[in-house]
Amino acid sequence: MEKNSSNYRLLSGLFFRLLPFQVLLLIITSVNGIVDSLYASNRIGQTAMSAIGLFGPLNHFLYAASIMFVSGSQVLYGRYLARDRGKINHLFTVLLAYRG
């Protein structure tokens, strides 16, 4: 895709608009994990927290896999929007009918 094409500008504009929200979601997840760990360590003790910590690598792997799928779906959706802009109204109407 050429950098001067309208599709490239549309996709890059959408991705840069979504970037602050994605960073905010990562920050909220990190802060939530810290607060949960502090609260849990005060409630259940250090020994139990160290046992829970053994599952940390598995948890990080599952989180990374889910982020990979979400990012991939965003790219595919962006390509779908750039390919045929005429179908956007139809897709939006179908989504409204489904929710309503």
User: For the chain, what are the domain ranges?
Assistant: 6-99
Q: What is the mean pLDDT of the chain?
A: 78
**How do residues 35-83 score in pLDDT, each as one tens digit?**
887 887 788 887 887 777 788 788 889 988 998 888 888 888 777 777 7
Query: Considering the entire predicted model, what is its pTM?
Result: 0.41
Phi, psi of 4 (to 5 degrees): -95, -5
Q: Which long-range contacts (CB under 8 A, 24 or more apart) does 69-76 make?
A: 74/15, 74/18
Residue 95 pLDDT greater than 70, yes or no:
no
How far is it, in rounded angstroms, from Cα 81 to Cα 11? Answer: 8
